[in-house]
Amino acid sequence: MSIVISKPDVRPANPNFSSGPCSKRPGWSLEALSDAPLGRSHRAKPGKAKLAEAIELTRKVLNVPDDYRIGIVPASDTGAVEMAMWSLLGARGVDMLAWESFGSGWVTDVVKQLKLENVRKIEAPYGELPDLSTVDFSNDVVFTWNGTTSGVRVPDGDWIPANREGLTICDATSAAFAQELDFAKLDVVTFSWQKVLGGEAAHGMLILSPRAVERLETYSPAWPLPKIFRLTKGGKLIEGIFRGETINTPSMLCVEDYLDALKWAEDLGGLAGLVARADGNLEVLADWVDQTSWVDFLPKDPVTRSNTSVCLTVVDPDILALSDEHQAAFAKGMVSMLDSEGVAYDIGAYRDAPSGLRIWAGATVEASDLKALTSWLDWAFQTEKAKHAQAA
């Protein structure tokens, strides 16, 4: 006879907890995009004005220094990171930091695609940071600020010296707008619209320090660059890219959606308001984890735990006694159950990460929805465990 476990009474009002594309802002609707200049050229005055506004609002909300360039580029955060690596690396040695799948992907690209030889790989397993004291800043340094697939972030930029010789290239896609980025320590910052602000996919942001611009104007890589990667012409920065004259055609509907999210962020009080919402969301999950014996954070050090892509692992002794394959099946069973109930979508661990759960807690998510979700997580665990006990 099957065991029936009572379902919680309260459901999340918004079940979208995906880590990308992430939940839209509270109160969002298609009507918010009615001012998009659809059917018009992005090079016409209305389109150029919208693109320039997106750049300036990005600067305002993120507190980007006035002498840093901000550009809208193709292919989401991936395109922005690749553009930076293909355009800037090769002038000196490179330290590649990786503690999750996307950072590992940048290592692969530098070693196997760019075929750079003077590369140091500084890596750590899921749930940990590498030893940041071993980084050689006479080299260029490539790293993710927040590991989207591991839930591990760098706590700050104090480990980066102000007098570094190389450039720092930071993939900040799940950190920007939820964590304080120390721009004085960062020469290249990339992110996409689809993460903390819940924007649409396919557009990336590239932020360059004066040091990065100097490198672009004084160094030419040994390999040919595709058109969508080219940031200079005749040895000078293509300034139009950083005024909204995009390399390829952007979606003005997506631009309008990004503007809507930026204006919502302004109404919250800018970056401080966004960070407070994400920190509050992490606190909801942390309080629940502290009171719950079957679950724990994948990152063991609280200082390195992400306030956006929160990665959890099942630590119940009976489940840990299962094989890795059966532990993964158990977590997937929970995820499927919650999806079927319509209370949580897309919360499975990333395919390359240890089995478990990954719950987006960025600023567009309501704390009340996360609070309601925790009861459903308990229900799903108990129900899935009862199934396994019966099968045994």
pLDDT given at position 4: 76
Helix axes of 252-268 and 271-290: crossing angle, nearest 10 degrees: 80
Question: What integer is the mean pLDDT of 168-179?
Answer: 98
pLDDT(375) > 90: yes
For the chain, report the end-to-end CA distance as a whole number of angstroms: 13
pLDDT given at position 2: 60
Q: Residue ranges of the alpha helices (H) in the chain? A: 45-62, 76-88, 101-108, 210-218, 252-268, 271-290, 317-320, 324-341, 367-391
Per-residue pLDDT tens over the stretch 324-368 = 999 999 999 999 999 999 999 999 999 999 999 999 999 999 999
Give just the sign of the alpha carbon dihedral 164, 170, 271, 203.
Answer: positive
Task: Tell me how crowded residue 109 is: count the other CB atoms within 10 A of its CB.
Answer: 19
Helix axes of 210-218 and 76-88: crossing angle, nearest 10 degrees: 50
Mean of all residue pLDDT scores within the chain: 97
Residues 93/118, Cβ–Cβ less than 8 Å = yes
Domains of the chain: residue spans and CATH: 30-266 (3.40.640.10), 270-391 (3.90.1150.10)
Query: What confidence tier does 388 reach under pLDDT thresholds 50, 70, 90?
Result: confident
Q: How many residues make up the chain in this entry?
A: 392
pLDDT(1) > 60: no
Question: What integer is the mean pLDDT of 224-239?
Answer: 96
| Share above pLDDT 70 across residues of the chain, in percent, rounded to a whole number | 99
Query: What confidence tier does 390 reach under pLDDT thresholds 50, 70, 90?
Result: confident
pTM of the model: 0.97
pLDDT(391) > 90: no
Per-residue pLDDT tens over the stretch 267-290 = 999 999 999 999 999 999 999 999
Per-residue pLDDT tens over the stretch 18-34 = 999 999 999 999 999 99
Question: What integer is the mean pLDDT of 240-263?
Answer: 97
Tell me the two tokens of residue 99.
Answer: 């503690």
